[in-house]
Structure 1
Amino acid sequence: MAPSGPLARLTEAGVAVWLDDLSRERLRSGNLASLVERGVVGVTTNPTIFAAAISQGDAYDEQLRALAAQGADVDQAVFTITTDDVRAAADVLRPVYDRTDGQDGRVSIEVDPRLARDTAATVTSARALWSTVDRPNVFIKIPATLEGLPAITAVLAEGISVNVTLIFSLERYAAVLDAFQSGLEQARANGHDLAPIASVASFFVSRVDTAIDPRLDDLATPEAAELRGKAAIANARLAYGVYEEVVASERWQALAAAGARPQRPLWASTGVKDPAYPDTLYVDELVVAGVVNTMPEKTLEAVADHGGDARDTVTGTQDASARLLDRLVALGIDVDDVARQLEIEGVEKFEASWEQLLAKVSEGLGVAAERAAGAQ
């Protein structure tokens, strides 16, 4: 039976519905396969997701025992566990990848976030993840830090598909699109077929409102109150305008003629943080053909239950969105400064999650080793 309802309407509107979560339990139980049957066509992961997955339940205990017996250190164990999960998820999504000619059916795995400020180490990590997962439908996630930009170009130039993450500002998004095109140009020069090389650019949404709303509250004026919960959507809609300008450019048209596919905008951080807002806000207000929306399961289920009609809510909104951000500036809220701070915090949060992941796996390896010793 074909999927129906709000998720199907989003798909028909040209929005690729992805799940922002992965765990071994989700794989083993068949939950991911079930979601794919309902219309989910991709998966994103990040250090926080893996830390949560390994902290819950016993799905990883058997592998931890095996890794402990092999003498694996904690970094090796984390690498093995996460790449195994992503490989398995990629296999679940492979029929989607084949059906969509590589457009969807993708699963993302992020480079070690501790490398976010190290270009060369990021490239090395991306290569290792790509070769170890060894699936054509994987994305290697690289943060859009200043140091990440040349890494994005270098990795794409080798034919590796990339999900660029932690994008908050229009300026940085433009730089990401430039890095993407440079990577494809180099890939073409290196003799790579451009058609299999895919990329998405993860533009973060809800965190913008989470950062700006308290500043509006501090102003305590009617205009400030009116602007609550609107900055993130306006920022994302303007980002789509940047994307449209690039795909209309002569530079991009030359790459497209050589077989390249565009770097789709991906709306990330679409779970609502403020309970005063509709729980499908960052889905319903960012519908436009040719984008991805990756949702935590709670948001996905909310959309499936009572999502909107999936009408285009982005096309034709550029001028109004620009005016809204101008109003914020007039109130003394520096949107560019907010974006810079969000990038710093984003990297720090992923580093903290990675440390939690390392600590949990280290604990698991220790317990497994102690049990093995006691059994002898």
Structure 2
Amino acid sequence: MSDRLKALSDAGVSIWLDDLSRERIETGNLASLVEEKSVVGVTTNPTIFAAAIANGERYDEQVAQLVDKGEAVDRVIFELTTEDVRNACDVLAPLAGEDSADGRVSIEVEPTLANDTEGTIASARALWSAVDRSNVLIKIPATKEGLPAITAAIAEGISVNVTLIFGKVRYQEVMDAYLSGLEAARDAGLDLGRIQSVASFFVSRVDTEVDARLDEIGSDEASALKGKAAVANARIAYAAYEDVIASDRWKVLADAGANPQRPLWASTGVKNPDYSDTLYVTDLVVADTVNTMPEKTMDAFADHGELDGDQVTGKVAEAQEVFDRLAAVGIDFEDVLVVLETEGVDKFKKSWTELTETVQGQMEKAAK
């Protein structure tokens, strides 16, 4: 077992793999990552599935069967992806006991529904029912239209991974949506202890956008701030989470058996080669959080990642100073957040198109 990854896990950080394929499941690779690299969860997205389906023959038989039945491409995607997530849930099931928030596998609602509340709710219900495993999480984007869908899903007892969160204010809205859903579930007589949720706060994309703007400014003061916005932003988000956990509203729900909606650090693969390839792991260590990593980032931390205790709690003033300095050199962070969310939704939709085209190609091969 990797000593560094075990130490990270022992520090209270749940290590989730940001990848999945039928090959990982069927060869025992996923089970090995659980045993050897302290992996206790999995996240997926359409781009991950597109790569898996394009590069593996393990889907061919199921694709052929679905083509023979005359299924449309959207239905084929649904069947292929829910099959993989169901089987991954079974691999991770031993980690998802009554007292564990781990052992979870996430699957995303159709990204074209990011601005469609009712469509998102319907997609979440369909995925929850099809996977039919208590340790699945349904990924719902934190768009304005996604917020009521989060509440509705939680109210029905559907566990949710809220994705595409970039800023503190939207994160606060996400946490409010979660609590509102729990309150509705409680009032409906549901067992709150069976509902799990994480809130996926995106990290590296913040630095990518802010750094590009700092480069345009070009001053020494601007250059000195490169690579600092993303971690500061996440630390401010964590302080907002602490405020909610300390609230009377949360304490009432906790007393009723509710589970906290853990912060999840997403988009933790480092894009800039000038930065440490473990930056968004090392600098965001804090107990009771999740870090979902591409395997490349996981391996980098296993090889040379460093731990130096809690890097988040009590650092909100330091983080705010970064934002004060960013504003002083001319960075409009509110505009950064608008751009990131808009681009994030566009990327989600583009990845769905990529997956659709990939599966369509496999269906055409099967039909020959």
Normalising TM by the smaller chain, what interval?
over 0.9
CA distance in 1, matches of 2:177, 2:324: 28
CA–CA separation in structure 2 for the residues paired with 1:4 and 1:297: 13
> Residue 165 of structure 1 aligns to a residue in which SS?
strand
Could you say which residue in structure 2 is the equivalent of 1:58?
Answer: 57
Q: Which amino acid aligns with 1:82?
A: T
Taking the aligned partners of 1:286 and 1:367, their CA distance within structure 2 comes to 45
Q: CA deviation at 1:102?
A: 3.5
Return the letter of the residue paired with 2:76: A
Question: What is the match of residue 156 of structure 1?
Answer: 154
Of 331, 349, 352 in structure 1, the residue corresponding to residue 350 of structure 2 is 352
Q: Which amino acid aligns with 1:330?
A: A
| Alignment of structure 1 residues 83-94 onto 2, 5 Å | 83-94=82-93
Distance 1:162 1:339 in 2: 23
What is the percentage of aligned positions where both structures have the same residue?
Answer: 62
Cα distance in structure 1, aligned partners of 2:104 and 2:25: 15
2:100 alignment partner AA: G
CA distance in 2, matches of 1:115, 1:19: 25
Amino acid at match of 2:40: V
SS of the residue corresponding to residue 345 of structure 2 reads: helix
For residue 373 of structure 1, what is the aligned residue in structure 2? Answer: none
Counterpart residue number, 2:71: 72
2:47 matched to 1:48?
yes
How far apart, in 2, do the equivalents of 1:55 and 1:353 lie? Answer: 13
Tell me if the contact between 1:9 and 1:310 (Cα under 8 Å) persists in the aligned partners: no
Give aligned pairs, total.
367
What is the aligned counterpart of 1:250 among 243, 248, 251? 248
Counterpart in 2 of 1:179? Answer: 177
1:298: which partner in 2? 296
1:353 shift after superposition? 1.1
Find the counterpart in structure 2 of residue 201 from structure 1: 199
Report the secondary structure of 1:17's partner residue: strand
Hey, what does 1:361 align to over in structure 2?
Answer: 359
Q: Provide the residue aligned with 2:262 in structure 1.
A: 264
In structure 1, list runs of 5 or more residues that go unmatched: 371-376
In structure 1, how many angstroms separate the alpha carbons of the residues matched to 2:308 and 2:137? Answer: 27
Match of 2:332 in 1: 334
Give the structure 2 partner of residue 145 of structure 1.
143
TM score, norm. by length of structure 1: 0.96
SS at match of 2:287: coil
Letter in 1 for 2:49: F
How far 1:10 sits from its partner (Å)?
0.9
Query: Contact 2:2–2:302 (CA<8 Å) still a contact in 1?
Result: no
CA distance in 2, matches of 1:117, 1:59: 34
- 1:374 maps to none
Q: Is the 8 A contact 1:6 1:310 kept in 2?
A: no
Q: Structure 2: which amino acid aligns with 1:287? A: V
- Gaps spanning 5+ residues in structure 2: where? none
2:261, 2:57 → 1: CA distance? 38
Q: 1:340-362, CA deviations, whole angstroms, 9 ceiling, x for partnerless residues?
A: 11111111111111111111111
Match in the other structure for 1:233: 231
> Conserved in 2, the CA contact under 8 Å of 1:13 and 1:310?
no
Secondary structure at the counterpart of residue 346 of structure 2: helix
Deviation at 1:33, TM superposition (A): 0.6
AA aligned to 1:308 is E
Displacement of 1:326: 1.2
Shift of 1:190: 0.8
Q: What displacement does 1:148 show?
A: 0.1
Mapped partners of 2:16, 2:365: distance in 1 = 35
CA distance in 2, matches of 1:124, 1:80: 16
SS state of the match for residue 166, structure 1? strand
Distance of 1:147 and 1:159 partners within structure 2 = 20
CA shift, 1:310, in A, is 4.8
Equivalence for 2:286: 288
Match of residue 134, structure 1, among 128, 132, 135: 132
Runs of 4+ in structure 1 displaced over 2 angstroms? none
The answer as to whether partners of 2:86 and 2:131 remain within 8 angstroms in 1 is: yes
| Cα deviation code 1:312-349 (max 9, x no counterpart) | 11112110101111111111111111111111111111
RMSD: 0.9
Task: Pick one of 7, 10, 15 that aligns with 1:9.
Answer: 7
Corresponding residue SS for 1:195: helix
Post-superposition shift, 1:57?
2.6
- Report the equivalent of 2:81: 82
1:188-227 per-position Cα deviation (integer Å, ceiling 9, x unaligned)? 0111010010000000000000001011111111111110
Superimposed CA distance per residue, residues 57-86 of structure 1 (whole angstroms, 9 cap, x where no aligned partner) = 322111111111111110110000000000
1:100-133 per-residue CA deviation (whole Å, 9 max, x = no partner) reads 7231000000000000000001000000000000
Q: Can you list the C-alpha shifts for 1:278-320, whole angstroms capped at 9, x where unaligned?
A: 0000000000011000000000000111111251111121101
Q: Which amino acid aligns with 1:134?
A: D
